[in-house]
Amino acid sequence: MSVRPRFQRAFLAWLEEVRPRLALQPRLSRRTDEVLRVQFDGFLPEIEAEIIREPRGSSCSIFIRPVLPVGGPAALLYLDTDVVATPVGYIFPYDTAASPRSFPSREEAWRDLLFEPFLTWISDKLALADAIAVLRSEDFILGDPDRGLWSYYPRLMADGELLSPVPPGYALERVVKIRVDQAASPSTYPPQRAQRQHSLGRPPKAARLTKLRLRQP
């Protein structure tokens, strides 16, 4: 099967090259000219990466927005870059360095700015994880577009410990298992109680005082 978009060809070529370095083996679950979707062996299909290039621009993205029983489309991972051509090569115009790096090709820029950070995240975070902590802002207001569904925030966990810090002002809503050898899928967690509470104008009760431990490197 031929792959037409240049960004997708670059990603798939890189993926085959680095497979021996990956702590988890990804598999292609869907491909169109607009998006590649990648799932991971050992994880539920709700943990799916999307690899996208904007159809009318140069912005490219890799993100994972898990399907959770509560909350909005917050991402576990979001990588984005906008590579532009200059007389000295391809650069990332929003680079904060005093002398932005230049690359000989778009492929080299995508590899360094997107693909390799994606590999690092898989090895250092996702490969260790067995659950997602769904966090809710303590400023949550039901029905407020700015402080409603967008106030949910996912964080990876391993053995009951967070793999990255909790943003200030967030409390634990629930923990969702994400490995295929675990009993419950995010899509099978019973949301009925939360839905009833929402219909009464009250958000689900959060474990506001729960102190989550951050795993030390």
Question: Residue 164: pLDDT above 70?
Answer: yes
Question: Residue 92: pLDDT above 70?
Answer: yes
Let me know whether 17 and 51 are in one domain: yes
Cβ-count burial of 118 within 10 angstroms (0-12 exposed, 13-18 middle, 19+ buried)?
A: buried
Bridge-based pairing state of the strands 213-214 and 161-162: parallel
Let me know whether 185 and 204 are in one domain: yes
Q: How much is the pTM?
A: 0.77
| Structural domain range at position 42 | 6-126
Let me know whether 121 and 136 are in one domain: no
At 119 the pLDDT is 94
Main-chain dihedrals φ then ψ at residue 132, nearest 5 degrees: -120, 130
Bridge-based pairing state of the strands 77-82 and 59-64: antiparallel
Tokens of 199: 């219909």
Tell me the mean pLDDT in the region 131-157: 69
1 belongs to a structural domain: no
**Partners of 78 in the β-ladder:** 63
64 belongs to a structural domain: yes
Instruction: Say how many domains are in the chain.
Output: 2
Tell me the mean pLDDT in the region 70-80: 76
Domain boundary among 102, 126, 150: 126
What is the spatial distance between Cα 178 and Cα 44, in angstroms, rounded to a whole number?
6
Task: Kindly compute the dihedral angle of the four CA atoms of residues 69, 120, 127, 66, in this order, to the nearest 10 degrees.
Answer: 10
pLDDT tens figures, 170-190: 888 888 899 998 754 444 333
Let me know whether 41 and 79 are in one domain: yes
111 belongs to a structural domain: yes
Let me know whether 97 and 145 are in one domain: no
At 17 the pLDDT is 95
Q: Determine contact, residues 14/6, Cβ cutoff 8 Å.
A: no
